[in-house]
Structure 1
Amino acid sequence: MSSVGLLEGGFSPLHCGHVAAIVRASTMVDVLHVVVATDDAWEWEHLYRGARIPFFPSRYRERWLRTVFRDHPHVLVHAVHQPRTGDDEADRTAGVEAITQCIGAPITHVFSSQQGAAVDAFGPDAEHVLIEPDWNPYPVSSARIRTEGALRYWAMIPAVVRAFLVKKVVLVGPESTGKTVLARNLALYYNTECVTESGRTLLREAGDNDMILEDYPRIAMAHHLAVDRARARASRVLFVDTEALVVQNYSRLYEGFNQRLIDEIARLQDYDLVLYLPPDVPWVDDGTRLLGDEREEADAELRTLLAEHGVEIVEVGGGFEQRLITAVDAVDRLLEGEGQ
């Protein structure tokens, strides 16, 4: 008869100690079922008040585990609702029933990190196997990550989870204000990734320096997707040159047209810090820029557009050295607030 193992937990969030425990358990049975057993509403109310990381429902944690163990066909991942009503015995009974129904096969091994964990409810053949997270390379717990912040334990968090925890900093402003150079410098300064704006790439592929109306939403969406890809490679913080509202502002200025699709893309954005670069440095003609002395108008329009969308900004003006100093100070404060 095949051996069927169960390892359940909240994994809120998943860390490398969890992964190490699952790896070891997976070597002891023919099939290992990893169950994210949680009550999302209870967790949100009781575990995440004052937490220094966002709350991710069980569906996200299920996805993280499936991604980590995608090359392990005998490791099966499920998310199961385990109610927390205050009646521990009734809740445990309901949770066991939901888990056994989900697995649909006799459980022979129950893995846990607790001495004396109750396993009888899973059947007479269930053997309790004590398996501790590997505390040597990963001295961390989900509770500590929640209370102290993810950045303090960055090396102990799987890459797939880091992508959801990395802090995203975007640089905005009218044309020729040094956004690209500052974004690249900040990425070098913090040893991380930078996403450059997508407009030049689109025009280069089109073999044209002039925009058409349809280009603007294409640029906004291409940029949004580039940010999504880059966050998985970033270390603690990701720097982004330009975002959808800047593109919308160009559409308004150049075409006289506000595009609803770009507004919808802007609503998907969740930047942690917005650095605003005003037009107080010389304008440089790179062959694609058109505003020149009209940057002040573009500046005023962009500020209005950002305010309409409720975007809070940090002003980064002055000479190029001062801009770097101001930006670094703002980013340091962001990271310190997240448990750097």
Structure 2
Amino acid sequence: MKLALTGAQSTGKTTLAKELSKLFNLPLITEQSRTVIKQFNVTAPKYLKEEELPDFQWKLFASQIIEEQSKKNFISDRCPTCFAAYASQFCKDETFIKEYAQKIENYLLLVKPYDLIIYVPPMFPIEDDGIRSSSEEVQHKTDLLIQHFLEMWKTKYGLNIMTINKASFQGRIKQVENYIEDPLRLGI
């Protein structure tokens, strides 16, 4: 089973992914940006120069694909919809944004990398960890862009997407568990 979480920053994706990894005994693919950013000698994407953003995004996407393709089954705390949303928001190069979104779309269409994408909407106050943006405006814009990409690609390619409803942490786990246990939903 291949599961990926998507959502803006500070929505609880990593915590949820870690717990689901244990529950379903799946290898966890952690957020690649924290690894890739080290190649640029800065501590967070917000410190990249504008001209470095496309290179960062390509390396991020490549790193995610390498991780996913190296595992038969997995749960990932990010997926390319997140990358497309951040690139659309922060990169100024329109040609790059179109090409990047097209590559992500091709990956989703041709590779069909996920049995299920779990969309995690904002539910908590943003925690400033020094890496991700602590701006509620950025979180809101990112969330809207992710929803846009998910809806577009679900309609176009029939992606299997579930939305986490507001609930306690255990309630969120139960929502995913119930969804996955329904064989008609996953078709696997």
Normalised by the length of structure 2, the TM-score is 0.79
Question: Partner residue of 2:59?
Answer: 218
Output one character per residue of 1:76-132: Cα deviation in whole Å (capped at 9) or x when no partner: xxxxxxxxxxxxxxxxxxxxxxxxxxxxxxxxxxxxxxxxxxxxxxxxxxxxxxxxx
Q: Distance in 2 between matches of 1:290 and 1:247?
A: 14
- Matched to 1:255, the amino acid is C
Question: CA 1:265/1:302 → structure 2, altered by over 3 Å: closer, same or farther?
Answer: closer
- More strand by percentage: 1
Question: Partner residue of 1:21?
Answer: none
Question: Partner residue of 2:164?
Answer: 316
Give the structure with higher Rg (CA).
Answer: 1
Question: Partner residue of 1:255?
Answer: 91
% identical equivalent positions: 23
Identify unmatched segments of 5+ residues in structure 2.
none
Q: Does 1:297 align with 2:141?
A: yes
Is the 8 Å Cα contact of residues 119 and 162 (structure 2) preserved in structure 1?
A: yes
Output one character per residue of 1:53-81: Cα deviation in whole Å (capped at 9) or x when no partner: xxxxxxxxxxxxxxxxxxxxxxxxxxxxx
Question: CA 1:220/1:338 → structure 2, altered by over 3 Å: closer, same or farther?
Answer: same
- Matched to 2:61, the amino acid is A
Shift, 1:183, TM fit: 1.0
Q: Distance in 1 between matches of 2:105 and 2:77?
A: 14
- Matched to 2:120, the amino acid is L
Runs of 4+ in 1 over 6 A off after TM superposition: none
How is 1:274-285 mapped onto 2 (pairs within 5 angstroms)?
Answer: 274-285=117-128
Q: Distance in 2 between matches of 1:254 and 1:207?
A: 19
- More helix by percentage: 2
Alpha-carbon RMSD across the aligned residues, in angstroms, is 2.2
> What SS is found at the alignment partner of 2:31?
coil
Q: Does 1:229 align with 2:70?
A: yes
Q: Distance in 2 between matches of 1:190 and 1:250?
A: 29
Is the 8 Å Cα contact of residues 116 and 186 (structure 2) preserved in structure 1?
A: no
Q: Distance in 1 between matches of 2:184 and 2:77?
A: 19
Shift, 1:262, TM fit: 4.5
> What SS is found at the alignment partner of 1:279?
coil
Is the 8 Å Cα contact of residues 170 and 242 (structure 1) preserved in structure 2?
A: yes
Q: Distance in 2 between matches of 1:240 and 1:173?
A: 12
Q: Does 1:288 align with 2:131?
A: yes
Q: Does 1:306 align with 2:150?
A: yes
Question: CA 1:259/1:334 → structure 2, altered by over 3 Å: closer, same or farther?
Answer: farther
How is 1:40-55 mapped onto 2 (pairs within 5 angstroms)?
Answer: none
Q: Distance in 2 between matches of 1:169 and 1:180?
A: 13
Q: Distance in 2 between matches of 1:292 and 1:322?
A: 27
- Which residue among 176, 182, 186 is the counterpart of 1:333? 182
Normalised by the length of structure 1, the TM-score is 0.46
Question: Partner residue of 1:120?
Answer: none
Q: Distance in 2 between matches of 1:263 and 1:317?
A: 30
- Matched to 2:83, the amino acid is V
How is 1:6-45 mapped onto 2 (pairs within 5 angstroms)?
Answer: none
Shift, 1:186, TM fit: 0.6
Is the 8 Å Cα contact of residues 84 and 104 (structure 2) preserved in structure 1?
A: no
Shift, 1:322, TM fit: 1.7
> What SS is found at the alignment partner of 1:230?
coil
> What SS is found at the alignment partner of 2:171?
helix
Number of aligned residue pairs: 168
